[in-house]
Every structure is written in structure tokens, then in C-alpha cells.
Amino acid sequence: MGIYKLKPACKDYIWGGNRLVNEYGVECDGEICAEAWVLSCHKDGSSRITSDIQEGRLFSEFINENKAVLGTNCERFDDFPILIKLIDAKKPLSIQVHPDDEYALKHEKQFGKTEMWYVLEADEGAFLYQGFEKNIDKEEFERRINDNTLTEVLHKKYVKKGDVIFIAPGTLHAIGEGIMVAEIQQNSNVTYRVYDYGRLGPDGKPRELHISKALDVTKLERPTDTVSNSGHLATCEYFCVDKITVKKEAVYHGNAGKESFVSILSITGNCTVSTGTEAISMKKGDSLFIEADTGKYEIEGDAEVIITSIPSKA
């Protein structure tokens, strides 16, 4: 059974900065690194394996040829179930919404998107948008998109390092300026953009909006704050996420059972992840994939890590 270090696919969206390169050690060509897809099999950007005899290989190719390494909980999915990103919002992201599986499969031929954010850094006074401040109707929603007053009715949520935000399909949202997050989401890249502050894309033209589809899927309400009572940062049918603090005097003992692979993302410090036969060092920003049925593993060092696995459907 194997453990693999991954190199992310990087995205240079216009709202991104350079903190992922400067502070998280992400290797990226170009001046902007908005997103680092640290665990990805998506066609729009696959991670690469940087360790073992598989070094340099696309992670998606490896998984397509070795589906058993995902575990039995993944058998209900046609594709790799999740995508994990590091996101640096130097400027605010567009106000957008994601569809659920039913709508996305019908209209986009791929799955919808449920996601969560763990706030890594947030400037003083930084905020994001999450749903509406009050319930509105579809006519008002469309009117405010057209007359550029949409932000007046959105719920502004101020955030700090360590906050967890769960974004269900249909929730209008946007990460704000000065926020960095780790995002765990379904393996989907379907986004319907409804407002983008009048910005122009690299081609000098306004970026595409998807107003008609957004009107179809947006829930016109303020979502209730989702607080996990399971002991995890977040858990749903697509992912189970934990944050673990590792200290030199306290080794973390984990298990990659036959049910699911394990993803480990280092967000602070340095540590070593070891199984019975392999050991790989991690620094801030590094991502590891441990095959299902590898068995017990240990994390030693002084670090904070985010651990993600796939739960049973129940």
C-alpha cells in the first residue's frame, strides 16, 4: 500500500495573489497563484505525484488505473469524489452559486458542488458573503443583479483564522478580499457567476455571467450556520474533515482502512507521516495521499494538518 506526495495544479485567476507561493511553498509559474489544487483528479487541473516510482505522473492517470486505492466508500461514485484547494483571495471573488447534483448532471454533464472552507488567514475586517440577509423573491434577485445592488441584500460574514464555513448547493457566496482558505469540495468545477464588480478578464472583456442558471438554482434565503456536532470540522455524504494539531511530545495515530483513502494537507509547521514501510516529510502547504487499506500511520513533528476521508453514505 502506498503514500504519495502531490504537486498541485495552479490557477492564475485575476483576483489571486502570491501568498501561496511566498508563504505556503507552492511552485507556480507566473505572477499570480489564486488557487493550488493540492488534491485533484479533475480534467481542468490534475495534481502530480512527486514521490515513489510514480514521480511526475498525473494523479488522475494513477487513480484511473488503480480505483481500488480509493476504498469501498468510494464505490458509489463514478469519479474521484473530492477536490481540495488552497485559495488566496487578494481581491474579492465573484458572487456565485453552485448547483446540486441533479441540476448539474442535467445541464453540465458533471456533478454539482457541496464545499467547505477552513479559514487559514484573514486580514482584520475581512468578510465573505454567504446567502441573503433576509428572504427575497426571484424578481427582486434578478432586479438587483441587473441594477448592481445585489450586495445590499447579501449576508456579510466577518471571519478570522480557524473559522469553518459550509457552503451547500444553492447558497450564493463569495470569498472576500484578504482571506485565504483551504477548500474541500465535491470534484466539480461548475460555478454560476452572477456579479463580478464590473471586472475585465485577461481578454479585456467582462467575465461571463450565468444569470439564468443562477436564477434556477439559488436559494433566496439566509442559510443557517452549520456547526458540526460530530467532532469533525465538517462531515457530509461527500467528505469528512478533521484538523489535527501535532506536537513533538504527542504522536498522532491514524488509520487508512479499507473504507477510504486519506488526504493529509499541512497548514502550519513541519512533520513526518509514516506507515510501516514508508515515511514522507511535510512542510506547510504540502499534500499527501494515502491509499485505502494501508492501515495504521503516524504523524510526528510540530504542525497542524487537515485530514480528509470519504464517509459511508449514511
Burial letters 112-149, b for 16+ CB under 10 A, else e? bbbbbbbbbbbeeebbbbbbbeeeeeeeebbebbeeee
Q: Above 90 in pLDDT, residue 108?
A: yes
pLDDT of residue 304: 97
Counting Cα atoms < 13 Å in the Cβ hemisphere of 168 gives: 13
pLDDT of residue 295: 96
| Residues 96, 47: Cα–Cα separation, whole Å | 25
Q: Above 70 in pLDDT, residue 226?
A: no
25-40 pLDDT, tens digit each:
999 988 899 999 999 9
164-197 pLDDT, tens digit each:
999 999 999 999 999 999 999 999 999 999 999 9
The active-site residue, picked from 48, 143, 193, 199, is 193
Confidence of residue 228 (pLDDT cuts 50, 70, 90): low
Confidence of residue 314 (pLDDT cuts 50, 70, 90): low
pLDDT of residue 50: 94
Average pLDDT, the chain: 94
Tell me which fold the domain 234-309 belongs to.
Jelly Rolls (2.60.120)
Cell of 140: 427582486
125-171 pLDDT, tens digit each:
999 999 999 899 999 999 999 999 999 999 999 999 999 999 999 99
Mean local confidence (pLDDT), 67-80: 95
The answer to whether 307 and 241 have CB atoms below 8 angstroms apart is yes
Residue that wins the pLDDT comparison between 239 and 198: 239
pLDDT of residue 207: 86
Helices (H), 26-129: 59-65, 101-107
Is residue 143 annotated as part of the catalytic site, yes or no? Answer: no
Domain ranges of the chain: 8-69+79-217, 234-309
pLDDT of residue 77: 93
Q: Above 90 in pLDDT, residue 54?
A: no
pLDDT of residue 1: 58
Confidence of residue 51 (pLDDT cuts 50, 70, 90): confident
Residue that wins the pLDDT comparison between 198 and 91: 91
Tell me which fold the domain 8-69+79-217 belongs to.
Jelly Rolls (2.60.120)
Q: 234-309: same fold as 8-69+79-217?
A: yes
